Chain A
Amino acid sequence: MNEVLDFLLLREPNILYVVIGTILIGASAGLIGTFAFLKKSSLLGDAISHAALPGVCIGFLFAQEKDPVFLLLGSFISGWIATYLVEWITIHSKLKKDTAIAVILSFFFGIGIFLLTIIQGSGMAAQSGLNTFLVGKAAAIQTSDLLVFGGVALLIILFVVIYYQPLKILVFNRDYALSIGLPVKTMEFLLNSAIVMAIAVGIQAVGVILMAALLITPAAAARFWSYRLSKLLIIAAGIGGFSGWFGALVSYTAPNMPTGPWIVTVLSVFAMGSAFLAPKSGMISRIKMGRENANKILVENILKTIYLFCEKEANPLTRSILYTDILEQRFFTPNNFSKGLRWLDKKHMIILDKNSLKLTEQGYEESKRVVRLHRLWEVYLYEKMNLAADHIHPNAETMEHVLTPDLEKLLLKELDHPMSDPHQSKIPK
């Protein structure tokens, strides 16, 4: 518990460095990953991350120690080679992109594991901890490494901020970018380099196996919350930064835990939470909307049925209608029927008696409105769409629940205020 407090309150200066470093790493990955996501190259990101492993090993063999610059350079170069090879295979062979990605991913990862095994068997003293690159260990980042990693992460963030507008144009519409003379080739090179760089610095914290999640998941989660690219980038960077910080917390308080899986779990919670909770596009609000619609259809259908009994009365509000009469006129399941009546009662549309009901003034107006829409729509189908009179009822059944007051006005105007529907029933005013 003490460690958690130490970490949260940044009690040691070295914790501060780790926190700043991991937040920068996570934020830069989330930021540049949004462009990979929008370019639809999420899978390529996964291939690049796996391809970073042989680079890390070769970088280590070169330096004979875990020098951050060499490790970074190694993973950057092998990541780039993988990117280039995927493109080359896609263009120059019959293989499609997904095949090329799968082949390159496993090929490079295989070589990486091979090299790692050789290094571990070599008995070099400095090699201990190299396998943290597989699943990540945020707390293993040295203060001196952080300068390099944090610097690169800042560079990536700066790149996105400065090149925001051209990147947006390029990713949305490449042909258009070419037509206004943007240096498309150069920008694509820079963008790809930034993605590879973000991966190269991120693998220290997350590990090569799970790195793609830190790149792509923040953008995927953010997509539920905004359709504006600028906000999307800020949210994705925030989620990435938070998961980086959380990874460091886990890594510091439980040194034997691999950081990568924890970061990925937090990210997935964000993504799934967004998928459920986001307004409008989230699942919960869509389920809610569906239920509201179902309820609207139910009560409006009940009102419409009641209206048929009141229609010919001189004083409709005094007419008492038996439940059994309503159910005879139109089928409702017992459950739905009582649910609908309860709702109408609560809204003071009807007054319930033991086994009969009466409409209130506002209930009567509402029922008139539903019937009016139904009959107006029937006239519309009959006159403007040339449908036969016996074909229009089912369609009007649905439309009456959908039509808004604005559309009602439009209908009335277009049909020139008709008096009766194609079945010769009066259209209530």
Chain B
Amino acid sequence: MTVKNPSIAVEAHNITVAYDRQPVLWEVDFEMPAGKLIGIIGPNGSGKTTLVKTLMGVLTPDSGYVEIFNEPLHEVRSKIAYVPQRESVDWDFPASVYDVVMMGRFSAKKLFQRPSKQDKLVVRQSIEKVGLTPFIRRQIGQLSGGQQQRVFLARSLAQEADIYFMDEPFVGVDAATETAILTLMLTMKDQGKTLIIVHHDLQTVSEYFDEVLLLNTRVIDYGPVETVLTDANLKAAYGGQLNVLSKVGELMKQSEFPVREKEFKNRTVKK
């Protein structure tokens, strides 16, 4: 019997995910502490977005499981906030800044309730925190890239969560937005929030994050920035594909093998 550690925010246990039988994540296993600013980095196609989506239960892994604050995901949904990639939605959608941020106040449990005074207050405050109050009634398609990213950020703030997952929040934003986002992240960390951020710019990693997870289909290394960003690790992550693994994947795709045999698919029972 293992004693559960209360300071663990996210635990990923042997996660494997495959698209079209090509493994995207392979036996990913780690524990992330609470109250830290953590980066997930790796080359294009290394499974960063897939990992974040799996951690949040947007994708179901082919094997393995995720626990948040030592609880299964569906018990702690309200403690999680999500900032998806900006390009993942259609910004022509008929909604204003206020409308989108208000989405942050809805949860599966109170779908049919009208927004309360408290909800409206939190929405206004969240918009103010990201500096979008002058644009509050504007249609989201008429915002700049940086402003759109801030809309998503404000929505996650409105969720009032404990863990924030953000997928490439710094992509395609202006310098002012980048600074604003970073300042906001540091404030959130000071309030004891956990921030897990997909990032691709190696230059800024040591400047932004406390810990980093170096990913390329499998976990290359995880820990404090200075111990992870070694030449050997970076070479392992960025220096080409794993030959045997990609060949196995190719083979499985061609012959339509399942990624996991059935009895290993489900969550292993913990004693």
Interface residues of chain A, those whose CB is within 8 Å of chain B, are: 38, 40, 162-163, 165-166, 168-169, 171-173, 175-176, 178-183, 223, 226-229, 232
Residue contacts A-B, CB under 8 angstroms, 24 given: A38-B94, A165-B106, A168-B99, A168-B103, A169-B103, A171-B93, A172-B93, A172-B95, A172-B100, A173-B103, A175-B53, A175-B58, A176-B82, A176-B84, A176-B103, A179-B56, A179-B58, A179-B77, A179-B165, A181-B74, A182-B108, A182-B111, A227-B94, A228-B96
Bound-state CA distance A228–B57 (Å) is: 30
Contact A226-B94, Cβ < 8 Å, known A173-B89, A181-B108:
yes
Chain B, 47-76, contact with A by CB distance < 8 Å: what is the 0/1 string? 000000100111000000000000000100
A101 → chain B, closest Cβ, in Å? 20
* B187 close to chain A: CB less than 8 A: no
Interface residues of chain B, those whose CB is within 8 Å of chain A, are: 53, 56-58, 74, 77, 80, 82, 84, 88-90, 93-96, 99-100, 103, 106-108, 111-112, 139, 141, 159, 165
Bound-state CA distance A27–B89 (Å) is: 28
Question: Is the beta-carbon distance between A168 and B95 smaller than 8 angstroms?
Answer: yes
A222 → chain B, closest Cβ, in Å? 9
Name the B residues within 8 Å of A38 (CB-CB): 93-94
Bound-state CA distance A30–B249 (Å) is: 47
Bound-state CA distance A38–B94 (Å) is: 9
B157 → chain A, closest Cβ, in Å? 14
Name the A residues within 8 Å of B82 (CB-CB): 175-176, 179-180
Name the A residues within 8 Å of B56 (CB-CB): 178-179
Question: Is the beta-carbon distance between B112 and A162 smaller than 8 angstroms?
Answer: yes
Closest to A172 in B: B93
Bound-state CA distance A38–B84 (Å) is: 19
Name the A residues within 8 Å of B159 (CB-CB): 180
Contact A229-B94, Cβ < 8 Å, known A173-B84, A179-B58:
yes
Which single member of A163, A180, A227 contacts B95 (CB below 8 Å)? Answer: A227
A368 → chain B, closest Cβ, in Å? 31
Question: Is the beta-carbon distance between B95 and A181 smaller than 8 angstroms?
Answer: no
Given A176-B84, A228-B99, 20 other A-B residues pairs in contact with their CB atoms under 8 A? A166-B111, A168-B99, A168-B103, A169-B103, A171-B93, A172-B93, A172-B100, A172-B103, A175-B82, A179-B56, A179-B77, A179-B80, A180-B77, A180-B82, A180-B159, A182-B111, A183-B108, A227-B94, A228-B94, A228-B96
Name the B residues within 8 Å of A232 (CB-CB): 94
Name the B residues within 8 Å of A40 (CB-CB): 90
Bound-state CA distance A38–B103 (Å) is: 17
Closest to B76 in A: A181
Name the B residues within 8 Å of A182 (CB-CB): 108, 111
A225 → chain B, closest Cβ, in Å? 10
A interface secondary structure, majority: helix
Question: Is the beta-carbon distance between B106 and A180 smaller than 8 angstroms?
Answer: yes
Which single member of A163, A178, A183, A229 contacts B99 (CB below 8 Å)? Answer: A229
Name the B residues within 8 Å of A178 (CB-CB): 56-58
B213 → chain A, closest Cβ, in Å? 19
Question: Is the beta-carbon distance between A181 and B96 smaller than 8 angstroms?
Answer: no
Question: Is the beta-carbon distance between B139 and A175 smaller than 8 angstroms?
Answer: no
Closest to A222 in B: B94
Closest to A173 in B: B89
Bound-state CA distance A229–B140 (Å) is: 12
Closest to A166 in B: B111
B59 → chain A, closest Cβ, in Å? 8
Name the A residues within 8 Å of B94 (CB-CB): 38, 223, 226-229, 232
Bound-state CA distance A216–B16 (Å) is: 41
Question: Is the beta-carbon distance between B111 and A172 smaller than 8 angstroms?
Answer: no
Contact A173-B95, Cβ < 8 Å, known A165-B111, A180-B106, A182-B108:
no
- Residue in A179, A181, A182, A223 with the greatest tally of chain B CB atoms within 10 Å: A179
Q: Which 10 A-B pairs have the closest CB atoms?
A: A227-B139, A179-B82, A181-B108, A181-B77, A178-B58, A229-B94, A179-B56, A227-B94, A172-B93, A173-B89
Which single member of A179, A183, A229 contacts B57 (CB below 8 Å)? Answer: A179
Bound-state CA distance A326–B108 (Å) is: 71
B158 → chain A, closest Cβ, in Å? 12
Contact A181-B103, Cβ < 8 Å, known A176-B84, A223-B94, A227-B139:
no
Closest to B83 in A: A176
Bound-state CA distance A378–B80 (Å) is: 51
A88 → chain B, closest Cβ, in Å? 15
Name the B residues within 8 Å of A165 (CB-CB): 106, 111-112
B85 → chain A, closest Cβ, in Å? 9
Name the A residues within 8 Å of B96 (CB-CB): 227-228
Bound-state CA distance A382–B230 (Å) is: 45
A421 → chain B, closest Cβ, in Å? 29
Name the A residues within 8 Å of B57 (CB-CB): 178-179, 181
Bound-state CA distance A171–B93 (Å) is: 9
B6 → chain A, closest Cβ, in Å? 23
Name the B residues within 8 Å of A181 (CB-CB): 57, 74, 77, 107-108
A183 → chain B, closest Cβ, in Å? 7
Closest to A38 in B: B93
B86 → chain A, closest Cβ, in Å? 11
Name the A residues within 8 Å of B106 (CB-CB): 165-166, 169, 180
Bound-state CA distance A336–B103 (Å) is: 53
Closest to A162 in B: B112
Bound-state CA distance A179–B156 (Å) is: 11
Bound-state CA distance A169–B95 (Å) is: 11
